[in-house]
Amino acid sequence: MMTRLERELASTDARSLGRDAWEQLCANRMARIGGGLFMGIALLCLIGPFFVPHSHETTQLAYGAQAPSWTHWFGTDELGRDILVRTLIGGRISIGVGFAATMVALLIGVVYGMIAGYYGGRIEAAMMRFVDTLYALPFTIIVILLTVLLGRSILLIFLAIGAVEWLTMARIVRGQTKALRKQTFVDAAIVGGAPTRRILARHILPNLLSPVIVFTTLTIPAVILLESVISFLGLGVQPPTSSWGILINEGAVKLDIYPWMLIFPALFFSLTIFALNFVGDGLRDALDPKSMGES
Amino acid sequence: MYLLILKRLLQAIPTLWVIATATFILMQLTPGGPFDVEKDIPEEVQALINAHYGLDLPRHEQYFRFLEQRLRGDFGPSYKYAGWDVDEIIAQSFPVSLELGLYALLVALTVGTPIGVLAALRHNRPSESVLMGFAMLGICLPAFVLGPILIMVFSMQLGWFNPFGWNTLGDRVLPVVTLGLFYAAYIARLARSGMLDVMRLDYIRTAHAKGLAQKAVVMRHALRTALYPVVAYLGPAVAGLISGSFVVETIFFIPGLGSFFVNSAFNRDSTMVMGTVLFYAVLILFFNLLVDLIQMWMNPRTRHDD
């Protein structure tokens, strides 16, 4: 016969952080809606184009811009291209760039922040001074500068965006690592003769997981937004490749005569940002109820 | 106080130097010179043009010339707008952007703050959800989606405003709303959470206990403290407004610095890009200092930080 305390212990200690967070996330209604919505949009962009009997490239000049109809649900642009397919294909690029650039940011930011936070002292001061200097400029300006330097292909755009988005990640990771570095289990590992690389990988990194996951989720919509802004300005992905930024730009130019060219891509784009932000907020509440603050 | 200003100004020097050097290196690395695009230029003419702009000098001489010019506040000639100096273009177009940005900030503060405060005072009531729903909408609608939609509704359908331009006072409305709405929404969220935190504090309970009306408690006691996060956000907001101006000025064809910057990036007009980036850096450092001073004036506790 277990006492009440024992029962409580038995029921709590078996739950890992991940599982606990997952349950909390599922309990959050907005996060659930956001997650479902995003999965739906992503899936639609991924497999949708195979089921639509139009190509995103084939132009039908004679056909021209047509309002939404049963054959073209979202209408066509002035070159006769189907907007539905173009929106879905554009979504692939936008979401793909969003994830790829976030991964670049994640990798650089975590390694950089961990090294700075772990070693401390002059190394940290120099490393963070560099980050602060880059922070003096808005990310959009840095990315525009980089696109001037690198050119305007998709690959380079996501590299450029990844090259600025890691800054915030590095700051967060550095702060956390600094706090962890003072913990006794790190001292124990050092005394035990573990090499630094092992300490970072086995003792520091796992403890960084929750802030890193939360921030990663919030970075993805930020990256998608940044890519779209750059593409909208004509400095990003170049036509005929399309991303949501490009489609919205084309729609904005023609909005007085062909409003559907703007409405549908804009709708998909806004819903995605909206959904991802809710998932990020939900994850933040689930993994990290207090710190990290707003934004 | 003066010490802090001095310290910040001194700190700004290396930052600006790094940015200036970085932009210089980036532009040097950029494949192709600024005059490579023109076709059919005889060799000699090409050489003359390069000599005129100092592009034939060795790299390090170009660099020192570049730094020396910047120190004198001379940003050099624009490569694309022939006959114009970069500082002349900035002097011409920046006031337009400044006006746009200040109006947007003003709208953001005057709309966002009351909404956030009201939402906090109506905590857990339906009106809070309505107000914060509006805020969420503002956050999820980026300028380049909102701007065209506003044009579609208010210019095309209703015919209230011109779809673009920057001539009459009415032309200001749509761009300012497009630029300011996101910040209004964000400030509303900050003001709400600030207000919720403050209303829980002891001194507010004391104010209630001594019989003050709710209005007096909010206006005279809570508001100042509740707005600290909003003031702290003004620094990042200025940086964001600058990035936002690129988009808004492009949508509404406003002849501000933002659209010149985007165009020069598009044309690879390197002196123009470098000059504008440096100018923006100075601007942001200046506004951050200003925000810090406002913060110190409002919140005595921040005065003794380092």
Structure-model confidence comparison of residues A66 and A133, the more confident one: A133
Q: What is each CA distance from B11 to A75, A172, B8, B17, in whole angstroms? A: 55, 23, 5, 11
pLDDT in tens, A80-133: 677 777 888 888 888 888 888 888 888 898 899 888 888 878 888 888 888 888
Instruction: Check residue A197 and give its pLDDT.
Output: 82
Predicted confidence at residue B82, as pLDDT, reads 67
If pLDDT is split at 50, 70 and 90, which confidence band does B228 have? Answer: confident
Per-residue model confidence as pLDDT tens digits over A32-62: 788 888 888 888 877 777 777 666 666 666 6
pLDDT at A67: 66
**Alpha carbons A90 and A279: distance in angstroms, whole number:** 22
Query: How many A-B residue pairs are in contact by the CB < 8 A criterion?
Result: 112
Strand blocks (E) in B181-305: none
How confident is the model over B133-145, as pLDDT tens digits? Answer: 788 788 778 888 8
pLDDT at B281: 85
- Mean pLDDT, rounded, for B174-202: 85
Q: Please report the pLDDT score of residue B41 as a whole number.
A: 67
Is A29 touching B (CB cutoff 8 A)?
no
Instruction: Give the mean model confidence (pLDDT) for residues B235-256.
Output: 85
Tell me the chain B residues in contact with residue A232 when contact means C-beta distances shorter than 8 Å: 144, 247, 250
Please report, to the nearest 10 degrees, the dihedral formed by the alpha carbons of residues A274, A277, A279, A280 taken in order.
180
pLDDT for residue A65: 63
pLDDT in tens, A248-268: 877 777 777 777 777 788 888
Contact with chain B for residue A135, Cβ under 8 A: no
- For chain B, how many residues are written? 306
The confidence score (pLDDT) of residue A293 equals: 39
Q: What is the pLDDT of residues A149-206, one digit of tens each?
A: 776 677 777 788 888 888 888 888 888 888 888 888 888 888 888 888 888 878 888 8
Q: Do B265 and A144 touch (CB under 8 A)?
A: yes
Strand partners, A76: A82
| Chain B nearest C-alpha distance from A274 (Å) | 6
pLDDT at B73: 67
Q: Across all residues in chain B, what is the average pLDDT?
A: 79
Q: What percent of chain A has pLDDT over 70?
A: 80
Q: Which of A48, A47, A50, A53 is nearest to A70 (CA)?
A: A53
The answer on pLDDT for A223 being more than 80 is yes
User: Between chains, do B152 and A148 touch, taking CB under 8 Å as contact?
Assistant: no
Mean pLDDT value across residues A266-274 = 84
Q: What is the pLDDT of residue B258?
A: 84
Q: How confident is the model at residue A295, as a pLDDT?
A: 33
Which ipTM value was assigned to this complex?
A: 0.77
B229:A294 CB<8 A: yes
Distance from CA of B52 to the nearest CA of A (A): 23
Phi/psi zone of residue A93: left (φ > 0), alpha (ψ -120 to 50 degrees), beta?
Answer: alpha
A145/B229 touch (CB, cutoff 8 Å), yes or no = no
Residue window 236-255, chain B: list those with CB within 8 Å of chain A.
239-240, 242-243, 246-247, 250-251
pLDDT band at B13 (very low <50, low <70, confident <90, very high): confident
CB B255 within 8 A of CB B167: no
pLDDT of residue A291 exceeding 60, the answer is no
In this model, does residue A294 exceed pLDDT 50?
Answer: no
Where do we find the tokens 């109809």? A69
> CB distance from B18 to chain A under 8 Å?
yes
Interface membership of B231 toward A (CB under 8 Å): no
> pLDDT at residue A9 above 60?
no
pLDDT of residue B306: 45
Distance (Å, rounded) from C-alpha B151 to C-alpha B251?
Answer: 9
User: What is the rounded distance in angstroms from the CA atom of residue B114 to the CA atom of residue B117?
Assistant: 5
> What is the pLDDT, as a whole number, of residue A11?
54
